Amino acid sequence: MTRKPLSRVGAVAALGLAAAVALTSCAAGAGGKPPKRESTGYELTTMTPAPTTEVDSISWNIFSGEPWTINPFTSADYAPNMVNSNMCETLLQQTPDFKIQPGLAKSWTNPDPLTWIYELRDDVRFWDGQPMTADDVAATMNHSLTDPTSFQHSMYFSVKSVTATGEHEVTVKLKTPNYLFHEQLASYAGVVMEKKYTEEHAKDLGTPSGGLMCTGPFKFGTWKQGDSITLERNDDYYNADLMPKTKQLKFTFLTDDTAITSALLSGQIDGAYAPPAAATSQLQASTEGTLSFGPAPLTVALFYTNPKGAMSDPAVRAALQKALDWKGIAKQAFGGIGAPTAMQTPPAAFGFAKAELEPLEKEFATTGEPDVAAAKKALEAAKPESLKQQIKMVVPQQNETQQLGVAVKAAADELGLDFKLTVVPANQYTNYLYDPATRGDTDILYTTFWPNVPNPLDWMQITAVTGGSFNSYGYTGIDDLFNQAVQTADEGERAKLTAEMERKLREDLLPMAPGIRQDNAVWQNKRITGAPAAFNYTFYPWGAHLGGTGK
């Protein structure tokens, strides 16, 4: 129902897929304070230490490579969002501790279930000096409302109209109540760009030549295709609390794990989110910088896509999940950055439903260890025709994802299932996620999934409701509950419905089967600091926190 995050994809050296993967243990902490991961010995933090000095320039690598666009209307992955989040602001803002607060809208009212009125800040200017008006806001929102090619379009399914009702006031009228949509305005559903500039650059918005016109702490500078994107500090930025400490933020596009690690350790690149998992120990031991870890709304999952294949059989799904060594996969393939999970929604995205979902998380708690005997027992309930069908899985050509694929194949082989694993170039994998023609009769894909906003209903809207962009399976099991939940004003009742959906998704293991709740990792060399350690670099101006250490 909306644009969605893709799996992390990065070109790395291929694994020998014939070799077996040795999968060992990974344990995760629990409790009220940030857990310490036994496998890597780290604790979680929201922010890294604040900078003490300004710097002229900081280079930052985008692990998934060069974005094909930085147009917020069509941005749907790590690469464009990591850049755009520093330039284009939203009506509401997501904070590093997964809260939603005022952004370009300083306040709002909900006078009736079908009306939301947003009062805008009156001190905001675009980079060209023009004031932000209600017309700019309404025009940007109406683009997402009316253009089906916008990744935000499906989030507007309940919106009837968006109108400028004052110089600094915008009114949203709904067709049906929707208490999720309001929070989604902290994503690019609520992005604001200058109306005049957007109209003039309709054909090249977000390209190296077209650029953008937004209000954020950094402004678009230059885009040297194949090399880098450079942002310049917005010295006229209205928010003194987020005035950048660096004059320039330069993004590079290395995707090879070895090359990234070498560039980080040598100081060629100052920082990076999600550095190679295989280099975790090496980076932790280095005196050239600091590897920090923070909470994240990220889940590594198997993504079922074929309602006519063997995985449409609930017994086959249950058997494969029981046979998988998610504990070993978490350590060996993903560097121990995270822990096994049986919950669709990770804790960082519990949002308003935290009180209902935390007990469910404890109920569903898993060590992630395989139980082959139980898996074979579950498989006895499978339909004979299901056992005759070949199961096809596709993963991107990336170290951790190939190890994941090999582990899934090993579990399927042990159950006697006919399983075929295909590895495709990283830059082609996105097509399998979104293009039915490319996907064909593929049964299983991989994703590391994150939501637009820290709200479990957003997660479900995208992955498990009819029309969701990650519901290629066509799952309908929670449609009625979801529609009831988003129309329920009372948060407590909405949370109960959310927990009911979470339980249903766990029972069905559709359309996604969760395996690992991932943490976020960020590397900063010894001359810089300040980046949020929490996963918040897709919609929040995280680069504004960066600065120097004086070293």
Q: Tokens for 162, please give them.
A: 């968006």
Q: How far is CA 533 from CA 70, 140, 353, 433, 439, in A?
A: 23, 31, 24, 28, 35
Q: Tokens for 371, please give them.
A: 């139980």
What is the signed CA dihedral for 518, 541, 261, 67, rounded to 10 degrees?
Answer: 90
Q: Left if phi > 0, otherwise alpha if psi is -120 to 50, otherwise beta: which for 416?
A: left
Closest Cα partner for 492 from 367, 399, 353, 384?
A: 353
Q: Tokens for 318, please give them.
A: 């249950």
Q: What are the residues whose beta carbons fall under 8 Å from the beta carbon of 202, sequence distance 6 or more?
A: none
Closest Cα partner for 415 from 310, 330, 306, 302?
A: 310
Position 400 scores a pLDDT of 87
Q: Please name each of the domains of the chain with its CATH number.
A: 55-84+203-291+523-548 (3.40.190.10), 295-519 (3.10.105.10)
Position 33 scores a pLDDT of 42
Burial (CB < 10 A; 0-12, 13-18, 19+), residue 259, is middle
Position 41 scores a pLDDT of 67
The secondary structure of residue 368, as a DSSP letter, is: -
Q: Tokens for 15, please give them.
A: 């694994």
Distance, CA of 522 to CA of 541 (rounded, Å): 15
Q: How far is CA 133 from CA 192, 196, 346, in A?
A: 10, 11, 37
Distance, CA of 325 to CA of 402 (rounded, Å): 15
Position 10 scores a pLDDT of 30
Q: What is the pLDDT tens value at each position of the chain, 551 positions in all?
A: 333 334 333 322 222 323 333 332 232 223 334 445 544 568 999 999 999 999 999 999 999 889 999 999 998 788 999 999 999 999 999 999 999 999 999 999 999 999 999 999 999 999 999 999 999 999 999 999 999 989 899 899 999 999 999 999 999 999 999 999 999 999 999 999 999 999 999 999 999 999 999 999 999 999 999 999 999 999 999 999 999 999 999 999 998 889 999 999 999 999 999 999 889 999 999 999 999 999 999 999 999 999 999 999 999 999 999 999 999 999 999 989 999 999 999 999 999 999 999 999 999 999 999 999 999 999 999 999 999 999 999 999 888 899 999 999 999 999 999 999 999 987 788 889 889 999 999 999 999 999 999 999 999 999 999 988 889 999 999 999 999 999 999 999 999 999 999 999 999 999 999 999 999 999 999 999 999 999 999 999 999 999 999 88
CB atoms within 10 A of CB 377: 14
